[in-house]
Amino acid sequence: MMRSGLLKLRGLFSCGVLLAAALLVSEPAFAEKRVALILGNSIYQNVPPLSNPINDGAVMAATFKNAGYDVVSRFDLSALDTRRVLRDFADRARDADIAVVYYAGHGMEVDGTNYLIPVDAKLERDTDIYDEAFSLDRILVAVEPAKQLRLVILDACRDNPFARNMKHSLASRSIGRGLAKIEPASPNTLIAYSAKAGSTAQDGDGKNSPFTTALAQHLTKPGLDIRKAFGFVRDDVLKNTGNRQEPFVYGSLGGNDVPLVPARAEPAAPVQATPQSQFNPQSETRRDYELALQVGNKAAMNAFIAQHPEGFYASLAKLQLEKLAAEEAHAAASEKARIAEQERARLAAEGARKDTQAKADAEAKSTEAARLAAEKAKQAAVAQQQAAEADRQRSEKITSNPIVASNSAAETPAATPEPAPTPERKTNVAALSEGPPQADIAKSVQSELRRVGCLKADADGDWNTTSQRSLTLFNRYAKTRLDTKVASNDALDAIKQKSSRVCPLACEHGFEADGDHCSKIVCGEGSFLNDDNECEKRRGKEPVVRRVRPEARPMPEARQYPQARQAIVVRPSVRDPSRSSTGRPLTGLERQQGCNSYQAIMSGVCP
């Protein structure tokens, strides 16, 4: 009687654990947020209407809703309404893991840029495309905030009636057939065309286009990688159109499978009851423990211990409880350290007093020490759990062999399983570490560093000096204090919290930053790129000044002046003072009057 009651309780407990496990396993889609925007334009106001876009949009909206997506569907929108819908959808995608945009309607390519055409567009001239339509880049901006995957699906490669009547303002402006090829600049971004670039798609004879029909059949299969799904879509469209239409996907993803809908967990096959298991109480206890382990929370483990308070599996359940407690303590310590770091930064920014700043620093250090202690406790609990699990597997091998089990039962009929190692036993934590290998963590951290613009090298899992410098740049611009010597889960979580670029874009010489990529600097005619990465006007060749020696001038002939005549002055000779001018002897009176002087003679007084 007592045994039958115990079996009933065990059956009820097993059913409860199975129900909880089924509820957790049957809803993997809700562990992450996935959003989708469906746009369809059929009733154009200035060209003949299209028959399929609204039908195609309705089918895709129902497909994504059945797959668990948060779907927004809008049809026959004007240019203004389309921009508003894209703005609202960008807010929805901000905290989403996967963001999808599906568009069906008219589209065209002008000068290598793709444009989607709303229903109120006229497009009388080729320049009207810039004002009346919206570019594909606008849709890429709307899905940019998504964390894991950004997907844009365009069923817009139809034969465009606007191009036939459009006036060309410039003969050099090209208007292509279909849509132009595009390479997404952001990682984890795919753009799917219903027809390859430069070709047109068919609407088909049915209610939906061949492209949409294939999408609805393959795209949301649980667990199917998106690249393989688009491969199946391509095969179906080629088959249904006689190889006249080939869908194409632009962009690239990593090496892991990326399904739009996670795979459903297969229910465990029922265990065939054998005569030995019917009479072995350990097999039922083990089944209950495995069910509680699938639930993986404290409530399930406490329920198992209440049902099986003693024995080997009870010890395993208690160790599992210690592991869960260590994980919770680690999470609480990490959160407390984050809050303390934010408080310290706030006090530093507000110019707090030195004593307040020192107190905040001390609290941050203490919380960091608590977090490290919690991490060590978590690792120790994991090590103990794995050691106990190894003992359990060895015991199961003995139990699974009927001969060994019977001999063991005969020798020790009342023996109980050896208790699990106590927490005081030293265990090699490094050899029993839980979680992905260090190379996978390093590769994940490198991928996130590339996403936020702090690492240019490929994510190869080698945590070298280049990766350490990139994490140092992240610490500088994100105001964090992550350990740069190793790639850790804390660093991965901190980088994932950043939804946009953190490190500024650094371009080589000859290139300049243009959003999230570097564009080549093209200087105008007559200019060149100098060492400062700026265009400088080229100087013309300056004429060389040469000093020309003047020719020797001929010496002028000497002017012939008339020869001056020589004047001959005849001075009177000195005469005898005792005689007159006539030579006669002077008298005494004449000599007394001075007649012997030249002046007296010239005055006429003297003869």
DSSP character at residue 514: E
Average pLDDT estimate for 348-373? 80
- C-beta separation of 186 from 251 below 8 A: no
Q: What is the mean pLDDT of residues 478-489?
A: 90
pLDDT recorded at residue 269: 53
Locus of tokens 């941050």: 364
Residue 11 near residue 18 (C-beta atoms within 8 A): no
**pLDDT score recorded for residue 417:** 44
- Evaluate whether 300 touches 292 at the Cβ level (below 8 Å): yes
**3-state percent breakdown (helix, strand, coil) of the chain, nearest 5:** 45, 10, 45
Question: Is-above-0.75 flag for pTM?
Answer: no
Average pLDDT over every residue of 93-119: 90
pLDDT, tens digit, for every residue of 423-449?
A: 444 444 334 344 567 888 998 999 999
Residue 321: CA count within 13 A, CB half-sphere: 15
Residue of 583 and 111 predicted with greater confidence? 111
Instruction: Kindly tell me the number of DSSP H helices and DSSP E strands found in the chain.
Output: 19, 13
Q: What is the pLDDT of residues 34-90, one digit of tens each?
A: 999 999 999 999 888 888 889 999 999 999 999 999 999 999 999 999 999 999 999
State the Cα–Cα distance between residues 199 and 159, nearest whole angstrom.
9
Q: Which of 148, 152, 153 is nearest to 33 (CA)?
A: 148
What pLDDT, on a 0 to 100 scale, did the predictor assign at position 357?
77
Residue located via tokens 């997404």: 184
pLDDT tens digits for 231-242?
A: 999 999 999 888
Mean pLDDT of the chain: 78
- Tens-place pLDDT, residues 253-264: 888 888 989 887
Q: What is the DSSP string of 409-449?
A: HHH-TT--PPPPPPTTS---TGGG--SS-HHHHHHHHHHHH
What sign does the dihedral 501-506-508-509 (CA atoms) show? positive
| Alpha carbon 342 to its chain's center | 25
Question: DSSP states of 192-246 as a string?
Answer: EESS-TT------SSSS-HHHHHHHHHTT-TT-BHHHHHHHHHHHHHHHTTTS--
Minimum mean pLDDT among 214-218, 488-492, 583-587: which range?
583-587
- Sorted by sequence, the CB contacts under 8 Å of residue 115 that are 6+ apart come out as 107, 108, 109, 129, 133, 134, 135, 136
Contact between 155 and 56 (Cβ < 8 Å): yes
Please tell me the predicted confidence (pLDDT) of residue 471.
92
